[in-house]
Amino acid sequence: MTGTLVLVRHGQSEWNLKNLFTGWRDPGLTELGVQEANAGGKALADYGIKFDIAFTSALSRAQRTCEIVLQNVGQPTLETIRDEALNERDYGDLSGLNKDDARAKWGEEQVHVWRRSYDVPPPGGESLRDTGARVWPYYMTEILPRVLRGEKVLVAAHGNSLRALVMVLDRLTKAEILELNLATGVPMVYKLNADSTVATKDVLGDMSGAH
């Protein structure tokens, strides 16, 4: 019997609100972000799941989201492993810049390419493929074996690190993953087959709120 993998993107951060490229910078959650994390946690509580272990990134917005979710499911002291392999994509020289200012500096088209191509990184940063190159091995060695042993595993992370995982789980093409946005605080519940393919996927909330 295989287990369950739950992915949650962190709630809105202070820099999401200010329209800044965040990457590996470490702003906290906004009030709305806390509300989104609580809503995701309540949805999981209503779903009736109890976790065996949680994974999150080395960044506080994901860690706080993880804590809030675990409080809502009644497991505030659950073992939680933090690793920068699950960090957001590194935006390099764009980190901390307002997205409109970046467009003014480099041009709309160039910034769009950096944000939305699969394998073109911004200066000093990571492409989505680069992000996947650290997320996928970590998933294969640390997370997937637990799920295949029957454990229920929570991963609270970031838009791009989770997109890299969803790309593998949902078997999306490079073109399809570029169209995918993950809503903040909305849990995705995967039950896996013994061969690690997806048996079922439930989205506990409204994905249309993605940004």
Edge-to-edge order in the sheet of strand 4-9 = 80-82, 53-56, 152-157, 4-9, 188-192, 198-203
Active site (annotated) includes residue 31 = no
- How high is the pLDDT of residue 2? 80
Closest CA to 8 of 66, 73, 53: 66
Write out the H or E segment, with its range, that includes residue 35.
Answer: helix 31-47
Q: Residue 188 is encoded by which pair of tokens? A: 């995705």
Residues 43 and 52: their CA atoms lie apart, in Å, by: 18
Catalytic residue, chosen from 10, 36, 126, 158, is: 10
Residues 185 and 187: their CA atoms lie apart, in Å, by: 6
Catalytic residue, chosen from 36, 67, 88, 126, is: 88
Active site (annotated) includes residue 158 = no
- How high is the pLDDT of residue 123? 95
- How high is the pLDDT of residue 211? 43
- Helix 159-169 to helix 128-138 angle (10° resolution) is 70
For the CA atoms of 86, 89, 95, 101, the dihedral, rounded to the nearest 10 degrees, stands at -140
pLDDT in tens, the chain (211 residues): 789 999 999 999 999 999 999 999 999 999 999 999 999 999 999 999 999 999 999 999 999 999 999 999 999 999 999 999 999 999 999 999 999 999 999 999 999 999 888 999 999 999 999 999 999 999 999 999 999 999 999 999 999 999 999 999 999 999 999 889 999 999 999 999 999 999 999 999 876 554 4
Sign for the CA dihedral angle at 20, 129, 142, 90 comes to negative
- The DSSP line for 8-32 is EEPPPBHHHHTTB--TT----B-HH
Domains of the chain: 10-158 (3.40.50.1240)
Q: Are 205 and 7 in contact (CB under 8 A)?
A: no
